[in-house]
Amino acid sequence: MTASDAPLKQTPLDALHRARGAKMVAFAGYDMPVQYPAGIMAEHKHTRTAAGLFDVSHMGQARLYGENAVDVIEALVPGDYQGLAEGQTRYTVFTNDQGGIQDDLMITRCADHFYIVVNAACKDQDFAHIAAHITGDARFEIIEDHALIALQGPKAEDVLARFAPPVRHMLFMTAEALHVADAPCFITRSGYTGEDGYELSVPMNQAERIADLLLAEDEVEPVGLGARDSLRLEAGLCLYGSDIDTTTTPVEADLKWVISKRRRETGGFPGADIILGQLRDGAPRKRVGIKPEGKAPARAHTDITDENGTKIGEITSGGFGPTVGGPVAMGYVATEFAEPGRAVTLMVRGKPLPATVAALPFVKQNYKK
């Protein structure tokens, strides 16, 4: 039996999704809600104006213990984790020997371990990758008994503070162990929408109760994968497997900020020679925003050409941006075409459509810093 033939897994919130009328789809080996009866557009707009609740329990959660845990991490990623303070979260990427991105992930320093969250589609290979590089006293533990819930939007703080008042004092990319309605939760102030919000790692047997409590608040509605994708696209956030993969470097992906100052000087991560060389000399292509003219969206794999019809790149994510009020996209173009305002052409179903290179993000990111 191949992986595609394997039965779909369910998250601890599966019954909740079905009870609320969710349309379920297969995603990364899980049965997941793509939308609820209100529809993707309404869910997107509600998250931008109030608060959306997302089930992200399909993602992988783990802990890495030991005095030399930081050495294990820094051997795999280009970020500075020696300098990460307790209670801080940092985004990073696993790189390979060619400088490509194997996955993107979040790592939080806790009192006696690092808390790691990886993408659902990559979690088995990511966890094997970490385990294969364990050295010294480091000990790796996959978290099997917790769900992961995201509460996102400008009203997220007001809502969550009713159940856990200390969340008001948290800043973007910080974390605390708190209780929500008597359930122990590990909470990070982070998310994947461009809005303020939180991700809650909740004991599996408490997940549905906590989700129901939050959804009972007037400001909160459930949101599926469809709006999650349009929200992150407007916010200029990468989707692994679409906008970044093993063929793209952090420099090409316009993620060079994940390579810390110290690591730029010392290297010591996979593909360092290639990545640091691109930092020094430039990369041949760059991830950019693309604003198509008119109403027609440009989907992934749409060719981008110059005024002479010569291909200069390709769309990696595209669709309608409800907040923007029109189509938006991201993709890679040859570096000489990457300046915002540059006119380009998109070949959409064989027809040339005008577009413009745009600065990312398409909407203001509303993180509490």
Q: Mind listing the pLDDT tens digit for each residue in 241-250?
A: 999 999 999 9
Q: How far apart, in whole angstroms, are the C-alpha atoms of residue 265 and residue 280? A: 12
Is the pLDDT at 5 greater than 80? The verdict is no
User: 33-81: per-residue pLDDT in tens?
Assistant: 999 999 999 999 999 999 999 999 999 999 999 999 999 999 999 999 9
What per-residue string of b and e applies to 326-355 under the rule 16 or more CB within 10 Å gives b?
ebbbbbbbebebbeeebebbbbbeeeebeb
Domains parsed from the chain with CATH numbers: 3-57+145-234 (3.30.1360.120), 284-358 (2.40.30.110)
Q: How far apart, in whole angstroms, are the C-alpha atoms of residue 204 and residue 169? A: 26
Strands 9-10 and 30-35: parallel
Query: Is the pTM higher than 0.85?
Result: yes
Angle (deg, nearest 10), helices 225-234 and 40-49: 50
Is the pLDDT at 201 greater than 50? The verdict is yes
Q: Check if the beta carbon of residue 41 is closer than 8 Å to that of residue 25.
A: no
User: 278-317: per-residue pLDDT in tens?
Assistant: 999 999 999 999 999 999 899 999 999 999 999 999 999 9
Is the pLDDT at 175 greater than 50? The verdict is yes
Q: How far apart, in whole angstroms, are the C-alpha atoms of residue 110 and residue 33? A: 31
Taking the CA atoms of residue 303, residue 121, residue 245 and residue 130 in that order, the dihedral angle to the nearest 10 degrees is 180
Give the pLDDT confidence score for residue 361 in this predicted structure: 98
Give the pLDDT confidence score for residue 1 in this predicted structure: 44
Q: Check if the beta carbon of residue 89 is closer than 8 Å to that of residue 201.
A: no
Is the pLDDT at 134 greater than 50? The verdict is yes
Place of tokens 């959409």: 348
Q: How far apart, in whole angstroms, are the C-alpha atoms of residue 116 and residue 127? A: 10
| CA dihedral over 164, 166, 172, 177, signed as positive or negative | negative
**pLDDT band of 3, cuts 50, 70, 90:** low
**Angle 123-59-79 (CA atoms, 0-180°, nearest 5)?**
65
Give the pLDDT confidence score for residue 349 in this predicted structure: 86
User: 315-351: per-residue pLDDT in tens?
Assistant: 999 999 999 999 999 999 999 999 999 999 999 988 9
Please count the other Cβ atoms lying within 10 Å of the Cβ belonging to residue 26: 11
* One-letter amino acid of 283: A
